[in-house]
Amino acid sequence: MSYRVAIIAPPYPLEEAPAPPLGVCYVAAAFEAAGCEVRIFDFVVSEYRKEKLARWMDDFRPNFVGSTSVTMNFPGAADIMMDVKDIDPSVTTVMGGPHVSFWAPQTLKRYPGIDFIVAGEGEVTISEMVPRLAAGDPLDDVAGLYLRRGDEIVFTGTRKHLEDLDQLPRPARHLLPISRYLALGFPVSVITSRGCPNACIFCLGRRMVGPKVRYRSPHLVVEEIAHLLGLGFWRINVADDLFTANKKRVATFCSEIEKRGLKFGWTAFSRVNTIDEETLVMMKAAGCDCISFGMESGRQEMLNLVKKGITLDQAREAARLCKKVGIIGHASYIVGLPGESPEGLEETDRVARELGFVYGYHHLSPFPGSTIMDKLEEFDLEILTDDWSQYDANRPIVQTSRLTPEMSKAFVDRHHAQCAEEMARIEKGFVERTNTPEEDLLILGNRKLETVFAIIDTDLIERFGTLEEDDGDTPDSSLAAVSSRIAGFLGKEHEPVAKVLWDFFKNGYIVQGLRNGKKAWVWAPNPAAAWPELADKKAV
């Protein structure tokens, strides 16, 4: 009998534009490569209910259930693991991911339903632990685990990072509800490398994936992108911590895209001190239209304090080059860094406007594993809550000696008010028919997205998609009937809901099928999501 593994993709706010969960897919692929039968229980694009989890577990009968999380959705993920144990106490449960990697003993003490924790990169750890789990053998000699030993919690030792990323099994996206993610319409993420050579004190990336940048073959990455485009995704996000760490590799990656004749838009994360005009021109020619820079502050003293390793002059030059080449630059800034003051924030805002990047502000969230969290006593900073669900960067949870939470909120709210004022102008223009076509598309897109979120987030296709006798047999009539029921439930007009469902149907995201023996509109099965065979396919 095969060893059955269920991987939880825990709830994550759709407003935060989640991509299909890449880490979950790498973990699932590692279990598949180890010979397990694997399913992903996805609650990102499906409403979480304990009874649904119980139904899925009863259908699959997993021996092992694992979950990942970041800090902001850790409480919900941990509660789901407790539900798993309550539903079937015989199941082995585990958590991994950045939060628990640096909060493991506290997690195991707080949540008795979690059996152990995988710290750091998990793929090689999984390949070693699966045979032992299946045989009922102890895991003490598998590095990278936090285990229970009676009342004690023991760590089996640090796991070395995998040097050759081409040995990784390919992400198991075929286990995801692909049609739901396609309907959501957000970019899909890939990685070309792991590792971060920088030492920013508010980030845990360096500790999670190591200071040495390790690379995947550009050929394999572009093969993956071609496969994703074939599934219907239309936009790619390169999710490396620092995509432009190596100019030669950027050139090879861009050349590979052009050689394949692939046409798609993509984004990447960079730093203002790692780009030049030649690199930007290459990226632009290969389809890159937006680069995100973590600016964090407009004060050089603050950039030095947080060990950002950049200068304001480098930022000015990066902004100039992006504008010259025609790539949108996006800058993010952090409110509430150690020692911050109201005057410092005003200086940051002045610089942000001067640079001309599209920009936004986030509140500081001191994550477990970051230097700020580990050495809090060394900084002018006070953390005001240990409620991890508030660590979403959308609210102030820290203060300094000169900056209160109220000041932080007022500053960010002022920026948001300016954005809201502009959106109100465009909304008015939509009603008065004075907008540009692009502005009207923005309004229509926002309204559509609200409906899409509601349909996906609360399982409305499942609730209202079963056809009744008077719904008719044609797509037109039956979709109209389902749209009417959903619109009534949401308190929305029928027409925009009907348009969303018709787009779902036209694009193949929903199809007519059976639910509990009755005709119904259902989410489409995965569109041949398994990877094509390649001569140089590798696995751990």
Q: Are strands 145-149 and 116-118 parallel, antiparallel or unpaired?
A: antiparallel
CA count, 13 A, side-chain hemisphere, 258: 13
CA distance 357 to 56: 46
- Of all helices (H) and strands (E), which one includes residue 511? strand 510-515
As beta bridge partners, residue 120 has none
pLDDT at 530: 53
CA distance 299 to 175: 46
Q: Is 387 helix (H, G, I), strand (E, B) or coil?
A: coil
Tell whether the torsion through CA atoms of 421, 423, 424 and 430 is positive or negative: positive
- 């008077």: which residue's tokens? 470
Per-residue tokens: 448: 């559509």
Q: Domains along the chain?
A: 4-155 (3.40.50.280), 187-432 (3.20.20.70), 437-523 (no CATH)
pLDDT at 532: 54
pLDDT at 426: 84
> Global pTM?
0.94
CA distance 287 to 237: 11
Question: Which of these, 475, 470, 528, lies nearest to 501 by C-alpha position?
Answer: 475
Per-residue tokens: 523: 């989410």
pLDDT, averaged per 10 consecutive residues of the chain (540 residues), comes to 91 93 96 96 97 97 96 97 98 97 96 96 95 93 95 94 93 95 95 94 91 94 95 95 94 96 96 96 97 97 97 97 97 98 97 95 96 96 96 96 97 91 85 82 82 95 93 89 95 93 94 91 77 43
Burial of 72 (0-12, 13-18, 19+ CB in 10 A): buried
**Which residues in 314-335 are b (16+ Cβ under 10 Å) and which e?**
bbebbbebbeebebebbbbbbb
pLDDT at 529: 52
Q: Are 23 and 38 in contact (CB under 8 A)?
A: no
Q: Are 324 and 286 in contact (CB under 8 A)?
A: no
Q: How many CB atoms lie within 10 A of CB 184?
A: 21
Q: Are 151 and 137 in contact (CB under 8 A)?
A: no
CA distance 467 to 465: 6
Own/partner pairs, 458-461, CB within 8 angstroms, 24+ separation: 458/47, 459/46, 459/47, 460/486, 460/489, 460/490, 461/510, 461/521, 461/522, 461/523
Directed axis angle between helix 342-355 and helix 312-325, to 10°?
A: 30
CA distance 322 to 411: 27
Amino acid present at 60: F
Tell whether the torsion through CA atoms of 353, 355, 358 and 364 is positive or negative: negative
pLDDT at 534: 43
- Cross-sheet strand order for the sheet of 358-363: 188-190, 235-238, 265-270, 288-296, 328-335, 358-363
